[in-house]
Structure 1
Amino acid sequence: MTQALSLNPRTTALVMIDLQHGIVSRPIAPHAGAQVVANAKTLADALRAKGGTVVWVRVLLNDLLAMPADAPTRAPDAPAAPAIASELVPEIGAQDGDVVVSKRQWGAFYGTDLEQQLRRRGIDTIVIGGIATNFGVESTARAAFDQGFKLVFVEDATSALNEEMHRFTFEKLFRHMGHVRSTQEALAALA
């Protein structure tokens, strides 16, 4: 049974991960990039209208930490990404009062001012989504959880490299870290 959820807009931040040109257009599942972006915009508009905080996180693709790995996410000899690849897509409808965080690794807390931005605003709850579920979103969520933030994972405002990775993370991990809700359920919790 799903627990009733109520979100105080003044202490809640929407944190959306990597909704940028170089990532949104990639093949992902189970939700298309355009759907994730549309749901993120709907959530951002609703939370912003109620006085909440909206945070857009982008990864600087050419500065992304690359460590030796059996299956690297980027080939060592890959050409540099064009500058626009690291820019947020305009369809999210970012506003002047929104916070934009630039990161250089999967998680949005390490080496950025994200925690300071949230704490200064009195944020105790993070509504989170973005691309990819088990890379940037999961890494950011784990750090937020470790720092004592309450978490709401928006399933249809998040997507992964494939459906299996997405489902596993939502069913086996996120349910233990916070609340899993749809965009509509998250919007209803703000009412």
Structure 2
Amino acid sequence: MNYYCPQYGVWREYCMPSSHWLRVNDYAERKDSTIIDEWNAVPTPPPTQLQSVSVDPKTSALLVLDMETSICNNPRCIASISKINQLLARSREWGMLVVYSLTHTGSLSDIAAQIAPLPSDPVVKSNVDKFYKTDLEQILHDHGIKTVLITGYAANGAVLHTATSAAFRGYNVIFPVDGMSALNPYAEQYTTWHMINSPGTRNRATLTKINLLHFIHPYQRSENRELGVIQ
């Protein structure tokens, strides 16, 4: 029996075992096929593991991306509003920086009322990458931010591309998966898989959920810094 080995891009009688690799019986029949032809034969990867995460509010920022009522109008996005609101309340309680984003045609009045920004909250406006032609990087730099918690809509749009852009810039990226959404579940699954498997993001991204986030008290920060836990 032949197997396709994606690591080497060749067909072999035997390749290192992995449940993710496509099994093919007949090379002659498959040699001209594409990934689209093989779509239904590709095994689904196992679910990713969610981690308990300690957040230093002094060096972390919460990003609330594109939560505009004009696009956040489907059941999955609407359901995420209450979750984001929980995280938003905790973040404000700990004095953490909160940054909002809008689509290129959005306005502040479009943001869902439950999670509306305060007058002091920075707001950036761009395409799916919120670093693109905005002062987001400068805002984060000015506040000494090293880690971003990314929430919002859509998972496969602003969330994915802004998170990737943040990782490229050296930020640690925390993904509360219940704080992001997309029109369909597959887009959310793909986003989580991409962030922890892509060479550009996997060393920077951590998947979690909102009730697994723990904020570090100032005295804990001092103790952890002495132990080398916080840089």
Indicate the SS of the match to 2:138. helix
Q: What is the CA–CA distance in structure 2 between the aligned matches of 1:85 and 1:95, rounded to whole Å?
A: 10
- If each structure's helix is expressed as a fraction of its own residues, which one has the higher value? 1
User: For residue 20 of structure 2, what is the aligned residue in structure 1?
Assistant: none
Equivalent position SS for 1:145: helix
| TM-score, normalization by structure 2 | 0.65
Deviations 1:30-66, CA, capped at 9 Å, x for gaps: xx222222111211111111111011111123xxxxx
Separation in structure 2 between the aligned mates of residue 153 and residue 162 of structure 1, nearest angstrom: 18
**Cα offset, 1:96, TM superposition:** 2.3
Identity in percent: 27
Q: Is the 8 A contact 1:23 1:85 kept in 2?
A: no
**What are the ranges of 5 or more consecutive residues in structure 1 without an aligned counterpart?**
62-82
The equivalences for 1:87-98 within 5 A come to 87-98=110-121
Paired with 1:158 and 1:190, the residues of 2 have a C-alpha distance of 23
Identify the residue that residue 220 of structure 2 maps to in structure 1. none
Distance in 1, matches of 2:168 and 2:215, equals 24
Is contact 1:109-1:140 (8 Å) kept? yes
Q: Please report how far the alpha carbon of residue 168 of structure 1 lies from its aligned counterpart in structure 2 after TM superposition.
A: 1.8
Please name the residue that 1:9 is paired with. Answer: 57
Structure-2 change in CA distance of 1:4 and 1:155 (3 Å) = closer
Which structure 2 residues correspond to residues 1-191 of structure 1 after superposition, within 5 A? Answer: 4-25=52-73, 27=74, 32-61=76-105, 87-103=110-126, 105-174=127-196, 176=202, 177-186=204-213, 188-189=214-215
State the SS of the aligned residue for 2:173.
strand
Runs of 4+ in 1 over 4 A off after TM superposition: 1-4, 83-86
Give the residue type in structure 2 aligned to 1:183. I
Q: What are the Cα deviations for residues 55-106 of structure 1, in whole angstroms up to 9, with x where unaligned?
A: 1111123xxxxxxxxxxxxxxxxxxxxx769721211142222221111x11
Using the size of structure 1 for normalisation, the TM-score is: 0.78
Amino acid at match of 2:178: D
Size of the aligned set, in residue pairs, is 164
CA distance in 2, matches of 1:33, 1:160: 7
Write the distance in 1 (CA, Å) between the matches of 2:86 and 2:123. 18
- The Cα of 1:138 is off from its aligned counterpart by 0.6
Q: State the Cα RMSD in Å.
A: 2.2
Aligned to 2:4: none
More relative contact order, 1 or 2 (CA 8 Å, 6+ apart): 1
- CA shift at 1:139, angstroms? 0.7
Cα drift, residue 148 of structure 1: 0.3
**Change beyond 3 A, Cα 1:133–1:3:** closer
Structure 1 letter corresponding to 2:117: A
Greater CA radius of gyration, 1 or 2?
2
CA contact (8 A) 1:18 1:56 kept: yes
Q: Is the 2:53–2:208 Cα contact (8 Å) retained in structure 1?
A: no
Q: Which amino acid aligns with 1:19?
A: M
